Chains A and B, each alone.
Chain A
């Protein structure tokens, strides 16, 4: 292991927001490192290769969804990189313990879920691509934005996920509209590549974007009123929910009916789409904006994520952390 990105989900899991957290818990599902050893049958990677691991480390590999390359929707349950149960055959170690994640010095993963990273990819910034990157790339891929036809894409929420989405959508050649509750995110959004910026609480600005967007990616994970965004969709458009809020949305079907629009959800992406995304990011040198910390900075990073006003992704420098003997004496 060289680096591990910190994701807001790490905090949700540790706090039990997404179901009980099984302790001890080692979070981290944005792993980036170098292959130190391979099993005798491994062909995908060799010692010395740059590799990453994202949010899943196993799935049944046999159901319809796994075979279609949607391992995240495995009908028998995918195995999460941490706090997951070893349901399928791909993971060694004690079969009864939960999986432990990337806030660690070394990691063993089954070949299929090991993502090979191109040599020209900056390892220190690669981790967040395996979570935030694929989370935003996948709906772009599924809803036609990687096919070449120019679209207008809205990104709601300009935090770590949102800024990743802005960069990807822009690199794909689309018109990008950043949407946020805070007017003070405008400069940053445009600097990341947004063509337009809309304050969601400004009724006049929102009215000006009516029927303008083909696709909207919604990264908000707190409770909110989704209805204000639906009018921004043009006919046949889709609003894709990426963050999970506790409270159900209050949605009337009539606005959906009168424009044939849809509300959908999406979860990370399968292994092949992840590899496609990595290749795209490596080709266009698209990276998250990273702030490096060592292990002693994790608590502070977690606190900062509650209000991520700069859209940064925090990444743990594993090697530096191991050298910090005051903080990690035993390692």
Chain B
């Protein structure tokens, strides 16, 4: 028991300390050989202020810290934020993927220096860069943290590696409420309905039957040490289809809309002509400054797209911003304090894989997802980026061939085994491809109530041996009220395949509970695997190349492992379905019978019968007509 607790608390601490943003940039002063004038560029970290820890001193001083510091003192006197305090940053990362596809990831970050959750704070009515619709929602429902993502497609870890921000197919929403909220369920219900309106999505289908409260998998990413999972709500809608109607409201949240800056690239017919599309909104409280004297709200809007080089390239492997988005960049968003385009050139140090034009002298290096990556940086706030034509069109010409499948350190898949419509078995297979390190993962499964899990059949096997989870949190389902929730902490042995199986029985639904297309099947949301994965940097033996020897004997903690969340595929399960055409026929028949029978009876019962006077014969009518003219009394 003690071991369980120990393991859980360890994981909690680890998760908490490793905020979900795995990219943590280092300053790099690199003498660039290409340019005649040797310039040293210090690239600035965009995530630096997340927790205010482990940051390079010099970098902090060179950037926005000064501004924050000066504002931090004023914050206690005035609640109306000064215009200068809000901040907006935009960036686009383009990563040519191993498979030959192109991964484009937009991030827009709006900072808002206010704290309306604090006691005694007056209602906030002044909005500048932060979207008012979201700000009002946050304050009305006392939201501590909100994460929402809409994804169309499945991230192919085996071909593309890890995404910057993972998300499951369909819609995902998880919210931490402030600890002062008394009716969390009520707030959650209202919030989902409001968000449904804001994002034009079917989030109103989130109810108690698909909401869970994970105990360990989803920890707050921002400030606040709330660990009481009573204030957390998590729900997915695996069937949600994401389209332009969701993109438009998402774009409207940006300060520049889609009028200027990177957002002009977001033409829906191109974004949805891709292999993968995911858009997300993350809101969390962060520190305003290093001392963390006051809080600020961070709104991070992300959009990730993977373009397929086969279908769009028509054989020619050539990429440009114009080809990808049918637009070029002409300016940065005027409201943005930083606006940059990064291109991952790690696999391409000598330009043998692809050729990039225009070339840039700016380089940046960062440890992203446990791997040291090098980026070419294009700063859109500088005029020289746009060149003579006043437009920036990045061109990428492939030279090499697309490679084999990857072996990411952690990946997972899930499927339904068995046949027939009575029972089945859910298999979740988790691969640890690290050659010598074992590491724990936290598996979370939320299964709808109509798959009745036989939890006694739960088995976890690694290398054909029983692998006992060190922590299990299981909440059984209640029919028509709440889903199953299963959370487990599993230690993955090095270089192994771990299989988690559980059997289930398919429930027979009431006939009104079937969807309009019952033979399509019912969805079960992705399972979530959260883990601290040993870093590639720590694994590589030649990392002493770019670092002094004295710094590299004991691996630095933040580089030795990184947090990653992997989502498996959703499942499509067929339930026993009645033949719905039969009741339809019966209804038609009975309706006809009732209509005819009832109609004639009603007719018979309510009609008043009168003896109809036979109309007088023609001769008599004629005679009466003549008599009327003559003015003599008519014949009877």
Q: Judge: A and B partners, yes or no.
A: no
